[in-house]
Structure 1
Amino acid sequence: MYYYPLQPPYVLLIVGFLTALTCGLALSGTLQVIIQKWPSVNKEPIKSSSSLKQLLVPFIGITVGICLFMYSGLEIFGFPSPLALGVGLPLSLLTCLFIWLQLGSLLEFVSIRGMQSLDLDSWS
């Protein structure tokens, strides 16, 4: 017997996607502002923890949007609601946690070695 939801959560899928998209644009803008301030503060060491505090709210918005998107997407594809939540929530939270840790280490790396250390075009 197959499970078909009577009313698939298409609205939640769109809301989750738009939430993640708008918060991603906010995160991008905030990150650009933080990076533009770095050259003007060369005399003091750059603290990546203060930069990460400014990025926390948009990143939490992205995480919530991705959780909603994963949950509703799995439910649309036939997962029952508890199973969709049980699979989508840990998967999206762990992915966002790993991305947050990577972002923090990348900001620390750039603050120590400078932006030229990220020039990936010179490797080819």
Structure 2
Amino acid sequence: MYPDPPYVLMIAGFLSAIAAGSAFNTSLQQATQAWAKNPEAGSLEDIRGLSLQLPYVGICLGVWVTLAAGIQIFGFSAPPSFAISAVLTVLMAWLVWRQLGVILGQLQRGGSKALDLDGF
């Protein structure tokens, strides 16, 4: 009666998000290390350019596909599951990107001691 759930699609989305996350990690580390060597070159918040945006979009697309496939496992059809996961992914992506800007701003103003979570 119902088609098989898209387990392969869920695994493919997850693996693509992991691969894009690895690229994002590398790009972010390189950008922050370059800024640490020459802080006068620009603002740390300005490093969120295309070199970070492209892998971040890859992460978001992988998460979107994984969420949609996960929702389909519970019996929803493809269009509603992709719509629901799109809303969730866009909201989550915006919040994480905004928080990245806040953290980079704190790092620029106070150095690594500004991010000390043990002080709380």
Could you state the TM-score of these two structures normalised by the residue count of structure 2? Answer: 0.88
CA distance in 2, matches of 1:65, 1:42: 33
Give the 5 Å matches for 1:84-103.
84-103=81-100
Residues paired across the two proteins, number: 119
1:116 maps onto 2:120 in alignment: no
Q: How many Å apart are 1:47 and its aligned residue?
A: 4.3
CA distance in 1, matches of 2:77, 2:62: 20
Could you state the TM-score of these two structures normalised by the residue count of structure 1? Answer: 0.86
> What corresponds to 2:65 in structure 1?
68
Q: Can you list the C-alpha shifts for 1:86-117, whole angstroms capped at 9, x where unaligned?
A: 21110111111111111112112211221221
Q: How many Å apart are 1:77 and its aligned residue?
A: 1.6
State the 4+ residue runs in structure 1 displaced beyond 4 angstroms: none
Alignment-mate amino acid for residue 89 of structure 1: A
Over the aligned positions, Cα root-mean-square deviation in angstroms equals: 1.6
Identity of aligned residues (%): 33
Q: Which moved more, 1:108-117 or 1:68-77?
A: 108-117
> What corresponds to 2:7 in structure 1?
10
Q: Which runs of 5+ in 1 are unaligned?
A: none
Q: Which moved more, 1:92-101 or 1:31-40?
A: 31-40
**Does structure 2 retain, via aligned residues, the 8 Å contact 1:31–1:55?**
yes
